[in-house]
Amino acid sequence: MPCVKHIVMWNLRHSNESERCDAIHKLKTAFEGLRGEIPGLNYLEIGVDSSRIDYACDVVLYSEFESQKALEDYAVHPAHIRVKNVLGDLRIARHQVDYVMTA
């Protein structure tokens, strides 16, 4: 059965290491709270960059959905909207890739 993978990477607003850690914790906690709340969301993982190279993003969201429809429903699900609102302008850059795995 096909699986839709949804990968999002962010750079976060911060002016020092303490603010960076707080922002990462807030984002990580908010997204991890979506587990079990959204139909069709089969897997969710948050990773924090450890390389610290200048072109790396701070945080990555890796998630798998049972279908394209499930991903579309996730985008407008009240729990996801709540997370987006809680995080507000915490993110200063965002990159996304969605793709279908058939094997």
Check which CATH number belongs to the domain holding 31 and give it. 3.30.70.100
pLDDT given at position 10: 94
Checking if the pLDDT of 1 tops 80, the result is: no
Q: Looking at the whole model, is its pTM more than 0.85?
A: yes
pLDDT given at position 5: 98
CA distance 5 to 30: 20
Q: What is the pLDDT of residues 49-87, one digit of tens each?
A: 999 899 999 999 999 999 999 999 999 999 999 999 988
> Per the structure block, which two tokens stand in for 19?
């603010």
**DSSP 3-state assignment of 61?**
strand
Please provide the average confidence, as pLDDT, over all residues in the chain.
94
Q: Which residue type is seen at 86?
A: V
- In the chain, the number of structural domains is 1
**Structural domain range at position 76:** 3-101
pLDDT given at position 27: 94
Half-sphere exposure (CA, 13 Å, Cβ side) for 102? 0
